[in-house]
Structure 1
Amino acid sequence: MSLTIQKSFEKQPDGASGKLYLVATPIGNLEDMTYRAVRTLQEADIIAAEDTRQTRKLLTHFEISPGQLLSYHEHNKTASGPELIRLIIEGKNLALVSDAGLPAISDPGSDLVKLAVEAGISVIPIPGANAALSALIVSGLPTERFQFIGFLPRENKDRDHLLASLQDEENTLLMYESPHRIIKTLESLQQAWGDRKVVLARELTKRYEEMARGTLSECLGWLQEHPPLGEYCLVVAGANPEDVKERRDAWWQSLSVEEHVLHYEEQEGVSRKEAMKKAAGDRGVSKRDIYKIIAVD
């Protein structure tokens, strides 16, 4: 990739391409809409929305009459994306919005941004509400360094692999989850990382906004008594640096996975199944991961 320089507000010659504006919308409270966001939507030639019905409600509330309101979402992005880029190249200014929050965060807007950058189109952020950062700043957990995970993979093996790779991550971790998966996700986090501190932020900026702060086990107990409702943002404490150092200095570091398992079989006389379980516990991975590595070897 060759170096490119974007000067967002430099005067453009006649016939130049339009621009792509990424416009933040409220995550629940309409008062979080900024003056600049309203003006940008008013002035845009085209508004592209994840859900045009939802966006039309927002536009109506702020008395915005779009020149064109087009659909752009996960299921049509392959066909719709290039067409939107063509319209921008022809000189149209396009504002992209998601259902809530910032476009391109856990959102197909990131693919449209990539196409725009490749086409030399200026991409301009119109900042505003964001659920993950809103949850982080009220969590009480460290905010100096953090990592955004988004939604965890649905497949067990993919989720286990990702969580294992993050076991030694010392930064605060942010992720999103739906109400029907939140309990399973907390159970997976506890199994992979132990009983860490966590904050469950629910219905942010809305009337029933709620934060549950505690350990993973405490929050699981809470959800058993208070069934999950609404979308959740999870803020999870990073790994304890002392625990990370202990794992990195562990006696088994120089052993292969097969040698690690054999150690328990020979030295402690346990079954292969139990030896694999112990090795998985040492390494902070699932027994399934140990089995797969040994099977390949």
Structure 2
Amino acid sequence: METALYLLPVTLGDTSIEKVLPSYNAEIIRGIRHFIVEDIRSARRFLKKVDHDIDIDSLTFYPLNKHTSPEDISSYLKPLIDGASMGVISEAGCPAVADPGADVVAIAQRKKLKVVPLVGPSSIILSVMASGFNGQSFAFHGYLPIEPRERSKKLKALEQRAYTENQTQLFIETPYRNHKMIEDILQNCRPQTKLCIAANITCDDEYIQTRAVKDWKGNLPDLSKIPCIFLLYK
């Protein structure tokens, strides 16, 4: 196994490892003793899911979130600099994509350390694939503003980009605010604009539907507390 910073995708929900991750990922994970993780508890659960016999207590975890300083992040890479492979684990999906893992990858690149991304599920890519929208040009915007006026302004701006740039627009919301997000979309976007709602991707109760805004009215699924990604297109 080559010494590198390995970017280790995680299941998007309560999905079996075999369904979404290559067996090669497990081989790599077994050879790593140092992990940079968004959440230590969820990372430990994921590693046990990959290999029930893994000795969790022998591993070292370095927390990486929005509160971690650049100095701390840089110091995390010392084992890699000393010749030991390291892994980066997000809470869900692919690390460094809409994820604080990007910060440690940027430092590793500046230090000319080898970075290896492994194959795994990305809600951004999977939702674009299933939406029927433009997969040649798309943009992910993360969370939209919470303040009503700013959110309305942002939704209208994203919708306009879909029309003028022929570009798919993607964004997310905190699960407990999914229904408010949908209400805001239906209120602010044109009736003919297409909206795709993708929820619990790769899970048994996966839900991915594309409809015009006018056709969603009165036909909304129950998305409370479910991870969702929203896509707008002309």
| TM-score interval, normalised by the smaller of the two chains | 0.7 to 0.9
Question: Would you say 1:138 and 2:126 are equivalent positions?
Answer: no
Q: Aligned AA for 1:141?
A: F
Please give the TM-score of this superposition, normalised by the length of structure 1. 0.66
Q: Which amino acid aligns with 2:55?
A: S
More helix by share: 1
* Whole-Å separation in 2 of the counterparts to 1:228 and 1:214: 20
Deviations 1:16-64 (A, max 9, x none): xx52111112112122122122112111231122122112122112223
Distance 1:181 1:215 in 2: 21
2:199 matched residue in structure 1: 202
Is residue 44–residue 94 contact of structure 1 (8 Å, CA) maintained in 2? yes
Q: Report if aligned partners of 2:179, 2:223 keep a CA contact under 8 Å in 1.
A: no
Q: Out of 1, 24, 27, which is 2:12 matched to?
A: 27
Q: Is the 8 A contact 1:101 1:130 kept in 2?
A: yes
User: Is 2:33–2:85's contact at 8 Å kept on the other side of the alignment?
Assistant: yes
Q: Is the Cα contact below 8 Å between 1:41 and 1:47 reproduced in 2?
A: no
CA deviations on 1:166-202 (whole Å, 9 max, x unpaired) are: 3133112222223322233334444554231111111
Gapped regions of structure 1 (runs ≥ 5): 1-8, 10-17, 239-297
Question: Could you tell me which residue of structure 1 aligns to residue 42 of structure 2?
Answer: 54
Which structure's CA Rg is the greater one?
A: 1
**Could you tell me whether the CA contact under 8 Å between 2:178 and 2:223 is conserved in 1?**
no
Higher share of residues assigned strand: 2
SS of the residue 1:222 aligns to: coil
Residues 89, 210 of structure 1: alpha-carbon distance in 2 compared, 3 angstrom cutoff:
same
Q: Give the Cα separation in 1 of the matches to 2:84 and 2:105.
A: 15
Distance in 2 (CA, whole Å) between partners of 1:192 and 1:59 is 43
Indicate whether 1:179 and 2:175 are aligned: yes
After superposition, residues 229-268 of structure 1 pair within 5 angstroms as: 229-238=225-234
Q: Distance in 2 between matches of 1:229 and 1:218?
A: 23
Aligned Cα root-mean-square deviation (Å): 2.5
Structure 2 contact 199–227 (Cα < 8 Å) conserved: yes
Determine the C-alpha separation between the residues in 1 that align with 2:108 and 2:152: 34
The number of residue pairs the alignment matches comes to 221
Higher relative contact order (CA 8 A, sep 6+): 2
